[in-house]
Structure 1
Amino acid sequence: MDFKSLLSAQINKAKASASADSEKKYVKRSELEAQRQAAYLAEKEAAEKARLERLEKKRKAEEEEAEREAQRREKRRRLAEESRKRREEEELEEERQRRKRLGLPDLPPKSAEGSQDGTPVPEEEDIPEAELVQKLRALQEPAQLFGETHKQKLKRYKRRIGQDNLAAITTDGPIPTTLQLVPEKDMKVSLKVPKDKEGREFLFRQLASYFTMVLKEWEGTLARRSGDIKNSYQGKQAYAAMVQARENMRPLFKKMEKGDLESSILEPVVEIVHAAQERRYVDANDGYLRLSIGKAAWPIGVTMESYFTYHPEEESPVNHDILFRPGIAPDGSDTFTPRAVIYDLKGAFGTMRKLNALYETEADVAPTESDVWPSKPIVQRTEPIPASSYQSALDAGLSPPRLSTSSVRYWSDYSHIYYHPKSLIQLSEFQVNDSLMPFENWDVGMDLFEKLEREVDLVDRDLRPFVEECDGIQGLQIITGVDDAWGGFASGWLERLRDEYGKLSIWTWGVGDQGGNTAIPREKRLQQTVNAARSLNVLAEQSSLFIPLSNRPKKMPSYLQMEASPWHIGALHCVALETLTMPSRLRTSHQGHGTLADLEQIVNLTGKRPIGKIEMSIADPDVLTNKASPDVMEVEKVTSRVATPRGEEVGNENGLDEFDIDVFTKDYRTAGAPKRRRDHIFGRVGISRGDWSKSPNDEYGARDRFNDGPLVERHVHDLTHRYNTPLLFPQLTSFPSIFDVGKPRGSKLAVNTGLTTSTAVADQIRTLEHIARRTLHLEDRETLSNSLQSLAEEYDEGWESSDSDMGE
């Protein structure tokens, strides 16, 4: 292309752009309106689109909120349902407890459909109003109750005629029961117990009807008494006996309602009722004794086992209710357990369980996840101690094997009796035979008692339930160690008891070696002596009578063959303790009866000499009987040696006039110290089992024999007293063979014991005080020394003292 063409193209292009600019400069009004409308429509469309988007978002938010609200309503409904179920379960449990207290049968299980017996609820058959009114009037029922609907009236009618299966029918007798009672003419029972179900059910109705009639008559007779008789002591006792009998029969009614009464119980009950209906009340009482005592597993134990009798004509002179409490096991059976509270360290009970066979139905229930912790608990159990062969044989009802010192590990290995769960209390703070934390210091025991007393009132928790069961309590007996921490623990207990029972007789038996074992290191022997001194200071002051018992008797005849075993030592102490307290357990009609206060008044007449010395002798009862016969003169010479079959001579020509076993505390007097010329006796009481008298014609009998010793001052007979009983000491299979008096193993022994307060105690107390004064700290020394010196002065005769005329 040439230059001319290019120039012409550029000129044309410039003219075209100029014309276009001139056209945009001027716009029509219609075009502007069209542009405005287009912009408006676009803006309106954008606004509508934004509105729709907002509505969509709002709809989604509302749907989400509705869903969340539905979830919240479902959660509230579920919580309300769970709360309702929990409330119904609580109400149902309260109803079960109420029915249990009233002796009613348990409620049947509730099914998912709502019925109590698991079956669908039947539809009620309607009855016209007029006919229903006539039927109610025929049954002598009100035709209309206030506010009662037709449906409620129909239900009341069906309940009255026994067609309403949804409600239990209970009687309004002394013991409410669902058993349908029979008329009096049908109450006569037969000795033969039926085997079929219908016959047993009718028998249960007969028994329930008879017991209800007897209880009603009993209650009515007591109600018809005059006011003076009702308010008297005997009247209140009679009413209490009726109430107790009624409460004791509730478990029997409960078992009869369930129909699961064992034949071993049903047959004796039928025998009792049959005898009572024929007015053979002695036979009925005999059957009750066989049922309540004879069928129980080990109902009693230790030496008390031989005192129980099961026939009214064979009543034992020993009242076993003094040391044993009657009770009822969870299954309704009668039990006899000791009135005892036993404290011991962890591991000292051995194989004995707190919940034994009599109370094993009260075993602890395993905790569930909702009880305490949200997570599943981890249970740590120690390896159980294997039961001894002796206890295993007793559990199986077999003849137990013979025990030995090697087979006896714990005191529970030879225990014959069951204890109430409240009787066994373990002190878990200390473990038996623990070398790191030994239970040996007196202060440790006192601190432990004070710690437990701060946490809980021990008297109210442990002792008061047993004391309140006693109609007339004689006193309390405490058996404790005195030369270790148990002395401090018992001292704290005794001070608390004296505050609670100020005038009650409290006997304390202090067991210990008091430093007499030379195999123990000297430091430990000194510690034991100090513990014994501190225990003596508190126990003698707070006890009505304090009797020290040594683990190593000072006088041991040749017929006493015992080892240094706690089993043998406990057996020896048992003979002395059980014989000395025998008068307190005899019935009031028995000749040798005497309470603890009577015995205490003889030996501690002034109340200032509570420490007594106990001695005893053991003999063959057959030889004693021959000795007492005036026709056998040669036997009297042999009797002085009968207790020592090895040929050792004990006593003098008059027979067994001196005790040959001294279980008093260790003699602390040194070999070089001068001895008293004689011991003055302030009081002495003797208890003998068997015929220990010198002669049937002897005016004073064995009581005069107390003053025949060469070192004992002869004085008036008013200072001594003798209790005698023909009951011999029984040796059970658990008793060790420590007495060799010519009798076979397991036979009964004649025992003669004496408890004396004399001037011999003063030297013991002063020697203890002298040792403790050299060992204790300064702040405790003066108080203990002054107290023991004051106590020793009470045992000095006249102007005699420990320093002036010793040995004169």
Structure 2
Amino acid sequence: MDFAKLMSAHINKAKEAAPPDSSDKKYLKRSEIEAQREAAYLAEKQAAEEARREKLEKKRKAEEYEAHKEAERREKRRRLAEESKQRREQEEEEQERQRRKRLGLPDLPPRKKEGEDEGTPVPDDEDIEEEELVGKLRALDEPARLFGETHKQRLKRYKKRVGADSLAALITDGPIPTTLQLVPEKDMRVELKVPKDEEARKFLFRQLASYFTMVLKAWEVALAGRSDEVKTSYQGKQAHTAMVQARENMRPLFKKLEKGDLEDGILEPVVEIVNAAQERRYVDANDGYLRLSIGKAAWPIGVTMESYFTYPPDPESPVNHDILFRPGIAPDGSDTFTPRTLIYDLKGAFGSMRKVNALYEPDYNESQEAGGVWPSKPIIQRSQPIPQSAYQVHLDAGLDPPPLTTSTVRYWSDYSRVFYHPKSLVQLSEFEVNDKLMPFEKWDVGMSLFDKLEREVDLVDRDLRPFVEECDGMQGLQLITSVDDAWGGWASGWIERLQDEYGKFSIWTWGLGDQGSNMAVSREMRLQQIVNSARSLYALAEHSSVYSPVSQTPLKVPSYMSIDASSPWHTGALQAVAIESMTISSRLRSSDGSRGSLHDMEDTFNNTGKRRIAKLEMSAADPDVLEEKCEEQIAQAEKVGSVTLKRESEGRDQLTEFDMDVFTKDYRTPSTGIKQQKKDHIFGRVEAARGEWSSSEGRGGRDPRDRFGEGPAVQRFSTSLLFPLLDSFPSIFNVRSGQNGKIAVYSGLTASTAVANQVRLIEQIVRRAASLDERETLCNSLQTIAEEYDEGWASGSDSDEDD
């Protein structure tokens, strides 16, 4: 290689790498190069430090600006909160003034300005000299002076101590605070005769308040003197709960005593009770309490259960009304009796019914709007209220209501005769009834609405649990819902929550389907309803103890009944007759041998635990005709010397053939290809008879036994209590006693192969109508349900070939 060229290349490379030098030096020392490099490094470091300082300065200024803004925001919030507090205090002061004016109490003293002392202004003529005031306080064994106490505060303390404070009304600090001036124990003795003089009545009210206060105080002292072991025991806690409940129940009485408007119908029994208790005649006092609390007030109830209530001296009703109705107390202290129910409906579906009714009128003025943060008043848009029907107007006025017709009934509230508790009525404001833009028709819409509300608030805790906690011994829950629209999805969400919370109780579901089968609806809408019913069938039957699909109208209408299938009033009445009669045995009193709980009935036809779907059937008849036939049978039996006509002992070899099948709609068509070549095999049945039904009513029968001599499990309940027809009930039964009286009803719940046939027919329709994403799961679920009704019996035993 060329050594000269290699050296020349290295020299040139070194020259290129050397830093340029502005001096005339041709060569640089290494120390000079290092000094230049160090100077460049220091300059770069100083520039970075200046940039960091500038950045920190900007950040500090931004933080100071943000802190200033935050202080301004805090000051603004404090100012708004102070204004809101002042506005709220003014409203509370105005409400207190109105309350004092209503009770006849002195007006509130003027409000203190900021910086004034806390002493109440005292007129000059009521003032006391300081030395005299100190002497009087010492005479009462009170401290002469308190730390930081002014003369006005000292005077106020003295007047409050001696009970002569005329500046403001005194409120006692007893178990029930009251503005009534209590009398000493020696003046508590009341006379049996109620005075007519106004002053004497006021003194009587003070006597009653004083006596009840003394009794409650003695009760509290007696309970407080118990040992800790007794207090923490179950009986000890129950005793304390009883005392607290009695104290709360007496608050409305004290309010009436303060107002002085206690009517003689209540005042006279109260005086009788107190007089007997003061004379130690406690049995007479208890009798007086019973006479006061039973049969003295109009029971605010209605619908079918209205006729089940009896009042002394009439004999006790066989129906225990406490099962479906709950006692309560209205804000004015009067007793109420409202259904144990929870009703959900869309906006506008309640008609003219109000959430707050005559039993629960509010104490406040509804027109008063609560003030908010903003000083301007809100603009309120109120919808036009729905006017009451003539039937409801006459009921409110205490007059005989006019007869109802299909043209006058617009909403179910038009013929309702019941006052509901405000918590029983829940309106779903997200949807409006008969809304064309957002119809409540698809199953998924109802399920989505339930999930949305369940995420916001626990519906079971908010709506249902308060009613459940009032029950001493709950036997089960009943869910009544339509299943061919979005309510099926809503009910499916509810039934899952009920199964989680109350799975050990019986949960009966009545699915009201085919609501639009007799109306002019499109084919797409009808297919959508069938798909909704199928999805509800799977979801409700899985989580319910008993699921019974109920059709809008029976498949065959008997000759003694005329019903308008397009009227929800007519169809709802027929469904109410069947459901109420089927479950009547669960509401009978324990002393009645025909009582059966929901769990007892479901065990009869669901002995495997998987046949939860039952077929609902019924028959109706004139009770007078049944009684005449029964008398003829007795007369014929007496001729041959035998009188054995008990329903429970006969008819075991035959099952009743009912007149009406209110099971789900029959979807069989010639195109389905399914022929009924076999009779329905019955696994189990529960029957409920109301009236003098016998086995030979012309309804026919069939032998339930198979070729091995074994038959289905059958349980029968009978009662002489007929189904009452109120004036709000439509005239759908063409029987002699059914026009304005009562009818005899025979109903039954049956688990048979008819369920499997209907489920398979629905499954064939769903297979063609349902969407692809849900078709396979839904069809497989329906097939699984149908297979439960094909197992456990010989397939050829009930065929026509064996007959």
Deviation track 1:329-380 (CA, whole Å, cap 9, x = no partner) reads 2323222222222121222111112222223326774466952554443332
Mapped to 2, the partners of 1:305 and 1:224 lie a distance apart of 46
Which letter maps to 1:338? P
Q: Which residue of 2 aligns with 1:598?
A: 600
Q: Which residue of 1 aligns with 2:207?
A: 206
Q: Which residue of 2 aligns with 1:772?
A: 766
Q: In the alignment, is the contact (CA less than 8 A) between 2:656 and 2:699 conserved in 1? A: yes
Which letter maps to 1:201? K
Q: How does 1:636-651 map to 2 (within 5 A)?
A: none
Mapped to 1, the partners of 2:133 and 2:411 lie a distance apart of 78
Q: Secondary structure at the match of 1:208?
A: helix
Q: Secondary structure at the match of 2:591?
A: coil
Worse-superposed segment, 438-447 or 162-171: 162-171
Deviation track 1:394-418 (CA, whole Å, cap 9, x = no partner) reads 1111111111111111101001012
Mapped to 2, the partners of 1:131 and 1:368 lie a distance apart of 47
Displacement, 1:511?
0.4
Mapped to 1, the partners of 2:277 and 2:558 lie a distance apart of 56
Deviation track 1:312-333 (CA, whole Å, cap 9, x = no partner) reads 8744332322222222323232
Mapped to 1, the partners of 2:699 and 2:502 lie a distance apart of 34
Displacement, 1:658?
3.1
- 2:743 corresponds, among 738, 749, 760, to 749
Which letter maps to 2:665? K
Q: In the alignment, is the contact (CA less than 8 A) between 2:480 and 2:511 conserved in 1? A: yes
Q: Which residue of 2 aligns with 1:30?
A: none
Q: How does 1:250-399 map to 2 (within 5 A)?
A: 250-262=251-263, 265-267=266-268, 269-270=270-271, 273=274, 279=282, 280-281=284-285, 283-290=287-294, 294-296=296-298, 299-311=300-312, 314-361=315-362, 365-366=366-367, 370-371=371-372, 373-399=374-400
Mapped to 2, the partners of 1:390 and 1:518 lie a distance apart of 27
Mapped to 1, the partners of 2:229 and 2:586 lie a distance apart of 33
Q: Which residue of 2 aligns with 1:402?
A: 403
Mapped to 1, the partners of 2:516 and 2:415 lie a distance apart of 28
* Aligned-residue identity in percent: 61
Q: Which residue of 1 aligns with 2:658?
A: 659
Q: Secondary structure at the match of 2:430?
A: strand
Deviation track 1:237-258 (CA, whole Å, cap 9, x = no partner) reads 4442332221121122123223
Q: Which residue of 2 aligns with 1:795?
A: 789
Mapped to 2, the partners of 1:559 and 1:314 lie a distance apart of 33
TM-score, L = length of structure 1: 0.76
Mapped to 2, the partners of 1:89 and 1:406 lie a distance apart of 50
Displacement, 1:226?
7.4
Displacement, 1:561?
1.7
Q: In the alignment, is the contact (CA less than 8 A) between 1:96 and 1:107 conserved in 2? A: no
Mapped to 2, the partners of 1:509 and 1:599 lie a distance apart of 15
Mapped to 2, the partners of 1:546 and 1:236 lie a distance apart of 40
In the alignment, structure 1 residue 758 sits paired with structure 2 residue 756: no
Q: Secondary structure at the match of 1:686?
A: strand
Q: How does 1:710-749 map to 2 (within 5 A)?
A: 719-743=713-737, 745-749=739-743
Deviation track 1:177-218 (CA, whole Å, cap 9, x = no partner) reads 332333555445456543433122111112213323443455
Worse-superposed segment, 514-523 or 544-553: 514-523
Q: Which residue of 1 aligns with 2:690?
A: 689
Q: Which residue of 1 aligns with 2:453?
A: 452
Which letter maps to 2:620? I
Displacement, 1:452?
2.5
Q: Secondary structure at the match of 1:617?
A: strand
Q: In the alignment, is the contact (CA less than 8 A) between 1:505 and 1:596 conserved in 2? A: yes
Q: Which residue of 1 aligns with 2:618?
A: 616
Q: Which residue of 2 aligns with 1:56?
A: none
Q: Would the alpha carbon gap of residues 525 and 712 (structure 1) be closer, same or farther in structure 2, given more than 3 Å must change?
A: farther
Displacement, 1:455?
3.1
Q: Would the alpha carbon gap of residues 787 and 108 (structure 1) be closer, same or farther in structure 2, given more than 3 Å must change?
A: farther
Q: Secondary structure at the match of 1:490?
A: helix
Mapped to 2, the partners of 1:743 and 1:204 lie a distance apart of 53
Q: How does 1:179-194 map to 2 (within 5 A)?
A: 179-184=180-185, 186-190=187-191, 192-194=193-195
Q: Which runs of 5+ in 2 are unaligned?
A: 1-74, 639-649
Worse-superposed segment, 572-581 or 377-386: 377-386
Q: In the alignment, is the contact (CA less than 8 A) between 1:482 and 1:531 conserved in 2? A: yes
Mapped to 2, the partners of 1:659 and 1:579 lie a distance apart of 14
Q: In the alignment, is the contact (CA less than 8 A) between 1:793 and 1:801 conserved in 2? A: no
Q: Secondary structure at the match of 1:480?
A: strand
Displacement, 1:768?
0.9
Q: Would the alpha carbon gap of residues 532 and 88 (structure 1) be closer, same or farther in structure 2, given more than 3 Å must change?
A: closer
Mapped to 2, the partners of 1:236 and 1:592 lie a distance apart of 37
Q: In the alignment, is the contact (CA less than 8 A) between 2:655 and 2:704 conserved in 1? A: no
Mapped to 1, the partners of 2:369 and 2:633 lie a distance apart of 79
Mapped to 1, the partners of 2:323 and 2:530 lie a distance apart of 35
Q: In the alignment, is the contact (CA less than 8 A) between 1:105 and 1:254 conserved in 2? A: no
Mapped to 2, the partners of 1:786 and 1:109 lie a distance apart of 75
Deviation track 1:758-792 (CA, whole Å, cap 9, x = no partner) reads 22211111111111011112221111111111111
Q: Which residue of 2 aligns with 1:461?
A: 462
Q: Which residue of 2 aligns with 1:786?
A: 780
Which letter maps to 1:609? R
Q: Which residue of 1 aligns with 2:160?
A: 159
Mapped to 2, the partners of 1:432 and 1:801 lie a distance apart of 48
Which letter maps to 1:757? A
Deviation track 1:457-500 (CA, whole Å, cap 9, x = no partner) reads 32233222322333332222111111112111211221232233
Q: In the alignment, is the contact (CA less than 8 A) between 1:483 and 1:532 conserved in 2? A: yes
Mapped to 1, the partners of 2:187 and 2:760 lie a distance apart of 79
Worse-superposed segment, 385-394 or 345-354: 345-354
Which letter maps to 1:667? D
Mapped to 2, the partners of 1:85 and 1:535 lie a distance apart of 50
Mapped to 2, the partners of 1:230 and 1:369 lie a distance apart of 44
What is the Cα-based RMSD across aligned positions, in Å? 4.3
Worse-superposed segment, 665-674 or 560-569: 665-674
Worse-superposed segment, 197-206 or 654-663: 654-663
Mapped to 1, the partners of 2:754 and 2:229 lie a distance apart of 55
Q: Which residue of 2 aligns with 1:584?
A: 586
Q: Secondary structure at the match of 1:361?
A: coil
Displacement, 1:635?
11
Which letter maps to 2:618? M
Q: Which residue of 1 aligns with 2:702?
A: 709
Deviation track 1:287-328 (CA, whole Å, cap 9, x = no partner) reads 3335xx7535x6111111122234387443323222222223
Q: Secondary structure at the match of 1:510?
A: strand
Q: Which runs of 5+ in 1 are unaligned?
A: 1-75, 637-650, 696-701
Displacement, 1:262?
4.8
TM-score, L = length of structure 2: 0.76
Q: In the alignment, is the contact (CA less than 8 A) between 2:273 and 2:286 conserved in 1? A: no
Q: In the alignment, is the contact (CA less than 8 A) between 1:127 and 1:154 conserved in 2? A: no
Deviation track 1:409-439 (CA, whole Å, cap 9, x = no partner) reads 1101001012222222222332222333332
**How many residue pairs align between the two structures?**
698
Mapped to 1, the partners of 2:595 and 2:766 lie a distance apart of 41
Which letter maps to 2:246? A
Mapped to 2, the partners of 1:627 and 1:219 lie a distance apart of 64
Mapped to 1, the partners of 2:320 and 2:793 lie a distance apart of 45
Q: In the alignment, is the contact (CA less than 8 A) between 1:276 and 1:284 conserved in 2? A: no
Displacement, 1:608?
0.7
